[in-house]
Chains A and B, each alone.
Chain A
Amino acid sequence: KAGVTQTPRYLIKTRGQQVTLSCSPISGHRSVSWYQQTPGQGLQFLFEYFSETQRNKGNFPGRFSGRQFSNSRSEMNVSTLELGDSALYLCASSLVSGLPSSGNTIYFGEGSWLTVV
């Protein structure tokens, strides 16, 4: 069974540009979450989507947005990139949202490394 797949794995963008990152969850998983990982701020929650609806949002500016499609695949977009947006962006998926029971483990992908120059 394939894991959480994120594309692209590495990318370099220029300040002011925008970027779109893609995440394909594990087959059958309907919840997708996004996290930003930086050396200074650590791992921070961006947002969660479940059944195409945003369920939770972290404390990030409106330049960060996301969406989920009917097949549960998700994209996140960052507009007007800043140098501080350089980070590893991690996608995670699980069967459902909430109730972290034994059957609702959250699985992470390997991430997309974004460098803003």
Chain B
Amino acid sequence: AQSVTQLDSQVPVFEEAPVELRCNYSSSVSVYLFWYVQYPNQGLQLLLKYLSGSTLVESINGFEAEFNKSQTSFHLRKPSVHISDTAEYFCAVSDNNAGNMLTFGGGTRLMVKP
């Protein structure tokens, strides 16, 4: 069975500061990893995903995540955050046997302060 742990439930940070949201997963098979973002009163939007190949994946709005197989981690980073990045971020895992079933972590609320 798969599981995802997001170590921080809340991360407060000042605008223009760097941030890292941590995600660790547990799985016995090869995995696919995702980060989704949820703004207040909205659904989930895909931020970035790791399927194969380069372990560093980037999104169009400056976020990046690095797949580390030995540490079973997929941490999300941004070098300089904006107020508009305030949202809840979810890490998720899937594999070839799961169909479209995603297993989510508990989420991390990123609070960017001016």
Contact = CB atoms under 8 A, between A and B. Distances in A.
Interface stretch (A12-20, A64-72, A91-99): A91-99
Interface of A: 4, 31, 33, 35, 42-45, 48, 50, 55-56, 58, 90, 92, 94, 97-102, 105-111
A contacts with B: majority SS: strand
Contacts of B106: 42
A42 B94 contact: no
Nearest to B106: A42
A99 B101 contact: no
B contacts with A: majority SS: loop
B100 A92 contact: yes
Contacts, number: 67
B44 A48 contact: no
Interface stretch (B18-26, B45-53, B58-66, B71-79): B45-53
A48 B101 contact: yes
Contact of B96 (A44, A92, A98, A106): A98
B102 A45 contact: yes
B99 A108 contact: no
B99 A106 contact: no
Nearest to B103: A45
Given A31-B99, A56-B98, A94-B100, 17 more contacts: A42-B105, A45-B103, A50-B99, A55-B100, A56-B101, A58-B101, A90-B43, A97-B99, A98-B99, A98-B100, A100-B32, A100-B51, A101-B51, A110-B42, A110-B43, A111-B42, A111-B43
Give chain B's interface residue range (CB within 8 Å of chain A). Answer: 20 to 34
Q: Which of A35, A43, A97, A107 has the largest number of chain B CB atoms within 10 A?
A: A43
A101 B94 CA distance: 11
B35 interface: no
Contacts of B92: 43
28 contacts: A31-B99, A33-B102, A42-B105, A42-B106, A43-B92, A43-B104, A43-B107, A44-B104, A45-B101, A45-B102, A45-B103, A48-B99, A48-B100, A56-B99, A92-B100, A98-B96, A98-B98, A98-B100, A100-B51, A105-B46, A105-B49, A106-B100, A106-B102, A107-B46, A108-B44, A109-B43, A110-B41, A110-B42
